[in-house]
Amino acid sequence: MNLAAATPDDAPAMASVHAQAFDTPWDESDFEGLLESQGIFGFLVSDEDPAGVLICRAVGGEAEILTVGVAPWARRRGVGLALMTAAIGAARVAGAGEMFLEVDVDNGGAVALYEGLGFVRTGLRKGYYDRGAAGRADALVMRLDLTSAAH
Ligand SMILES: CC(C)(COP(=O)(O)OP(=O)(O)OC[C@H]1O[C@@H](n2cnc3c(N)ncnc32)[C@H](O)[C@@H]1OP(=O)(O)O)[C@@H](O)C(=O)NCCC(=O)NCCS
């Protein structure tokens, strides 16, 4: 597994992984714009092919995971954990004292990943995700204390 800090040149690879991981993916220009923005950083994991992506914002002492996704063929091999661990380290270096993320309440795999890293549930956003014909789904808000967590 090769994990590297992402640059705007990685936008095509990141968009290709995102399209495999999400029903409503971000495109190349989304990634390019984000990676050119102040306070935003990302990581890309590649195997033979791009396998996992993460984008994080760290501003004013707070970090937020904006997206993390792993291609289905690369899951359950530690890629998501490696991306999150890298983001936690980089957020600390950027001076963040806490990290937040939102996750679909029904996304048990992602919640397990985050809880394993020490994230705790701090809130619920009712109807946060639009699932089209399936209606709306609630989002859990999760927080990690970066000043005391061991990761
Ligand atoms: C959630 C996601 C990022 C996990 O990536 P991954 O590379 O498969 O995760 P890892 O292999 O690093 O898993 C680390 C740990 O997290 C937990 N975990 C991850 N996926 C899990 C699943 N489907 N079911 C249960 N636990 C899971 C396990 O504890 C796992 O450790 P283990 O494999 O030793 O049991 C990936 O499934 C994904 O991209 N899903 C679609 C997009 C998504 O939901 N993104 C998150 C939105 S908030």
Query: Where is 31: in which H helix or E strand?
Result: helix 28-35
Within-domain flag for 129 = yes
Question: Going by C-beta distance under 8 Å and a sequence separation of 6 or more, which residues neighbour residue 49?
Answer: 71
Within-domain flag for 80 = yes
Within-domain flag for 116 = yes
Within-domain flag for 136 = yes
Q: Pocket around ligand 1: residues whose beta carbon is below 6 Å from it? A: 21-22, 68-70, 75-81, 103, 107-110, 112-113, 116
The atom of ligand 1 lying closest to the CA of 101 is 48
For residue 54, give the CATH number of its domain.
3.40.630.30
Within-domain flag for 151 = no
Residue numbers of the domain that contains 31: 2-145
The ranges of the chain with pLDDT < 50 are: none
Within-domain flag for 36 = yes
Which pLDDT score is estimated for 150?
58
The total number of structural domains that make up the chain: 1
CA separation for the pair 1, 3 (Å, rounded): 6
Within-domain flag for 78 = yes
Q: Ligand 1 centroid vs 75 CA: distance in angstroms?
A: 7
Query: For residue range 85-102, what is the model confidence (pLDDT) as tens digits?
Result: 999 999 999 999 999 999
Which pLDDT score is estimated for 107?
95
Within-domain flag for 150 = no
Query: For residue range 70-85, what is the model confidence (pLDDT) as tens digits?
Result: 999 999 999 999 999 9
